[in-house]
Amino acid sequence: MKGTEKKLKCDMLLIAAGFIGAEKYLPESFGLNLGPRGTVATPEGKYSTNVPGVFAAGDMRRGQSLVVWALTEGRAAAAEVDEYLMGYRNR
Q: What is the CATH number of the domain that holds 75?
A: 3.50.50.60
CB 83 within 8 Å of CB 62: no
11 half-sphere exposure, CB direction, 13 A CA radius? 0
| Domain-embedded: residue 41 | yes
3-state secondary structure (DSSP) of residue 81: helix
Instruction: Read off the pLDDT band of 20 (50, 70, 90).
Output: low
Residue 10 domain flag: no
Instruction: Give residue-wise pLDDT tens across range 65-77.
Output: 777 777 888 888 8
Do residues 31 and 53 touch, judged by C-beta distance below 8 A? no
Domain count, the chain: 1
Is 13 contained in some domain?
A: no
Q: What pTM value is reported for the model?
A: 0.64
Query: Contact 42/48 with Cβ under 8 angstroms?
Result: yes
Domain that holds residue 54: 25-86
Task: Please state, for a pLDDT cut of 90, what percent of the chain lies above it.
Answer: 34
Domain-embedded: residue 11? no
Would 1 be classed as within a structural domain? no
